[in-house]
Amino acid sequence: MKGVSGLNPRQKEAVLHEGGPLLILAGAGTGKTRTIAYRIARLVETGSPPESVLAVAFTNKSAGELRDRVRALLRKKKKAPLVTTFHSFCVRVLRQEIERLGYKRNFTIYDTTDQLSVVKEVAREVHVSGRDLDAKKVLWTISRAKNDGGAPDPGDGTDEYLLLASRLYPRYADALKAYNAVDFDDLLLLALRLFNTFPDVLRRWKERVRHILVDEFQDTNAVQYDLVRLLALPVGNITVVGDDDQSIYGWRGAAPGNIHSFAADWPRVKVITLDQNYRSTVGILEAANAVISKNAGRKPKKLWSNLGQGDPVRVVTCATGEDEAEAVIGRIVALLASRKCRAGECAVMFRTNAQSRLFEDVLRREKIRYVVIGGMRFYDRKEVRDLIAYLSFVFNERDEVSLLRVLNYPSRGIGRETVHRLQQESLSGGRPLTEVMRRAGSLEGIGSRQARGIADFLELIDQARSWFGPGRLSYGARRLAETVGLEDAAMRSVKDPEAGWRKAENIREVITALATFEQQEPQAGLGEYLAGVNLAGRDEEDSDSSSETVTLLTVHSAKGLEFPHVFLVGLEEDLFPHERSGADPGGMEEERRLAYVGMTRAGRTLTLTHAVGRTRWSKDMVCTPSRFLDELPEEGIEREDRRDGEEEVDLIEEDRIAEEYIKRIRARF
C-alpha cells in the first residue's frame, strides 16, 4: 500500500483512526471513496485478516468502484476484503443459513417483473384484476412497508390501496415462500430475521466480521442499519461515511436520519468532516452550492476547492428535446474534435431513463460510441427473460413465475384455460404446480392434447436438468435453447426481420455470458449466475465502458461517479423536478438534492440544458424552465439560446409548439 502522504490531515485522521465507531461526513468530491479505500487497506496491512473486513455500499456501481480502489492499494499481495452491496452480502448469508427459515437453499430472487406477476396472481384469487388493479401501486406499498421492517398497515381502512395491499400481502408472502423465492426486500429482511432469531448464526457472523464500513450511509434504510448495527455490537468497529445533501433514496425508504442519530447510537463516536473538494472548479461548486442552499432544514456547510474558477457553467435553452440532443452531442463532437478530451470523460445525465433515447439517436448518427447505464436493461428484454426463465425453472422447480412464463412459450397448445385449471387444482390441493402437472393426464377438465403438451414439457425439463453442472452452464443453456427453439420463436415474434435477428443475437449473448461466467467462476452453478443476473444485471453493460465511450445515465446511477464534462439535461418543471415528486412531503427537497448530486459530478465543465417544448407520451408539451435554473447564482453563468436563427426544421417545430400552446390556452378558457 502506498503511504498516506497524499492525503490531507483529516483524511489521514480517518484512515488512521484505531478502532471504535467512526462517522465521516464527506461532501461531494472530498475524496470519500479514496479515504475508505485507504482505511480498508490499512486495516488489512496492520494485521486484520482480509476476510474479517466487510465494506458495504448501496449500489453495485459504488461497491465496484470501492472494490477496484482497494484492490489497487493492496495489489495482489493479500486476499481481498469483502466489498459488496447490502443485497449481495445478504445473499451470501442466506445461501448458507436460509434453511433455518424453512426455505430451500436453491431459492430464486424475484425482480420487479416477477413480483408484479405474483401480485396479479394473488389479486385474482380475491377477484381483483384487470383495470381494477394497479399492481405497481400495490407492490410499491408492500415494498415500502417491508423496507420499514414490517407488513403494510391497513390504516383506518379509508385508503383503498392500503387496504388492498394489506389484504394481499399475506397471500403474496405465502406465494413467494411456496415458490421458494425471495424478493429484493426479503434479502435484507430475512437476513435480519436470521440474526435476530438464531443467536448462534449471529455469533458466527460476528466472529467472522470484525470491521464494518458503510458507504453512502445516508441511503441506508431501517433494516440495513439494523443489520450492520447487530453485527457491530458491542465492540463498535463500525465506520460510516455519508453526506445528507446527497440523500436521494427517500422514496425507497432510506432514512437519512440514520446519519444524525448515529452519534446518539454510538456514544464513543469519532466524527470527522471532509470539506475540501478535489473534483470541481470553483465555478461549478458555487453553482451547486447556490442550488442546494435553497433547501430548508439543512445543516449549513460549504465545500471549497482550490482548482480555480474554471469555465463558466453553461445554461442552454433548446427548442425541443431533439434540439437538446443535437446541442449536447454537437458540443461533445466539438470537444472531441479539438482533442480537448476523450469520449469517456463526457457524461449525459437525465432524470428519467426514457430521456436517453433522443441522445442515443444522435450519437448513433454521429458514430460516437456510447453506453447507457440502467434503462431498458439487457436482462429486461423479452427474449432474454424467456431464456433466463427457463434457466430459473430448471434451477428451482418451485419457481412458479418462471414456469408460467415458459410453459406455453414457444406455443405447446397449453392455453389460459388449461393453466387456470392447473392452478386451481394446485391451490385447492395445496400442492406445487409441478406436482399437479405430473398428474395432468388424469385431471378432469384437461383435454388429451393439452395433457400431451404438459407431459412433453415436463419430460424436456427433467432431461434438461442433467445438461447443467459446474463448468457446463453454457452448454446446458445452448442445448435447452436449441431444443425448445427459442431463437426461432424470437425471430417469428416480430415482423421486422432485422429486429428478429437482433433478438436471436441477444439469446446467443446470454449463452456467451454464461460461458464467460463459467471461466471466471469455475466452481459456480446456475444459482450463482442467476443471483448475479438479478442483483448486478446493470453492471453487465458497464463492461463496455471505456475511455472511448460517452456515458448516458440517470442522476441516480451517477451518484458516486465523476466526469470531467457533465451535461445535465431536461431541466424543466415536471420533468426535473419530476411532477410526481410533489406527492410526498420533502419530495421537492429530494429533487433539489438530486440536482445537486448531478451538478457535483462535474470536474471541469458543467452544461445545464432545457427545452421549451418536448414530446412526451407522443404528445407535444410546452415546458417551463426548471426552478433549479432560477436558483443558480447571477454571476459566472453563460447563457445560450438556440431558438434564434435555427434551421428551418426547428422553426417549423417551434411553430407547432406555439400552436399547441395557443390551443391549450384556449381550452382553458
Partner DNA sequence: GACGGAGGTCTTTTT
Partner DNA sequence: GACCTCCGTC
Contact set with DNA (CB under 7 A): 58-61, 85-88, 111-112, 116, 120, 129-131, 136, 184-185, 248-249, 251-252, 351-354, 374, 380, 382, 408, 411-418, 445, 447, 450, 535, 538, 554, 556-557, 578, 580-581, 583, 616-618
- Choosing from 215, 518, 590, 591, the catalytic residue is 215
In angstroms, the CA 298 to CA 260 distance is 12
Judged by CB, which is closer to DNA: 105, or 136?
136
Q: In Å, what is the CA distance from 382 to each residue of 13, 27, 388, 506, 656?
A: 51, 41, 10, 10, 36
544 belongs to the catalytic site: no
Name the minimum Å distance from CB 269 to DNA: 27
Burial 459-487 (b: 16+ CB within 10 A, else e): ebbeebbebbeeebbbbbbbbbbeebebb
Give the nearer residue to DNA in terms of CB position, either 276 or 352: 352
Q: Is 523 a catalytic residue?
A: no
CB 35 within 8 A of CB 14: yes
The reply to whether 601 belongs to the active site is: yes
- The answer to whether residue 314 is catalytic is no
Q: How far is the CB of 590 from DNA (least distance, A)?
A: 7
Active site residue 246: yes
Minimum CB separation of residue 394 from DNA in Å reads 22
Q: Which is nearer to DNA, 64 or 564 (CB)?
A: 64
Q: Which of 30, 33, 115, 141 is catalytic?
A: 33
Cα dist. 189→183, 266, 458, 546 in Å? 10, 23, 34, 37
Helix, strand and coil content of the chain, in percent to the nearest 5, comes to 55, 15, 30
Q: How many CB atoms lie within 10 A of CB 645?
A: 8
Which candidate, 229, 225, 190, 213, places its Cα nearest to that of 95? 190
Cα–Cα–Cα angle for 512, 514, 519, rounded to 5 degrees:
100
In angstroms, what is the minimal distance from the CB of 548 to DNA? 23
> Which region holds residue 168: left if phi is over 0, alpha if psi is between -120 and 50, else beta?
alpha
Q: What is the 3-state secondary structure (H, E, C) of 157-168?
A: CCCHHHHHHHHH
Q: In angstroms, what is the minimal distance from the CB of 380 to DNA? A: 7
Nearer to DNA, 81 or 598 (CB): 598
Choice between 414 and 530, CB closer to DNA: 414
CB atoms within 10 A of CB 407: 22
* CB of 284 vs DNA, minimal distance in Å: 23
Nearest to 251 by CA among 555, 592, 572, 583: 583
Measured from the CB atom, the residue of 108 and 418 that comes closer to DNA is 418
* Nearer of residues 354 and 637 to DNA, judged by Cβ: 354
Q: Give yes or no for a cis peptide into 577 (omega within 30° of 0).
A: yes
Q: Output the smallest distance, CB 557 to DNA, in A.
A: 4
Least Å from the CB of residue 185 to DNA: 7
**What single-letter DSSP state applies at residue 130?**
G
Q: SS3 of 388, please? A: helix
Write down the catalytic residue from 65, 114, 121, 216: 216
**Rounded to whole angstroms, what are the CA distances from 336 to 331, 343, 651?**
9, 7, 29
From first CA to last CA, the distance across the chain in angstroms is 71
Q: Which is nearer to DNA, 61 or 331 (by Cβ)? A: 61
DSSP states of 551-611? EEEEHHHHTT--EEEEEE---BTBBTTBGGGGSSTTHHHHHHHHHHHHHTTEEEEEEEEEE
Which residues are catalytic, by number? Answer: 32-33, 215-216, 246, 601
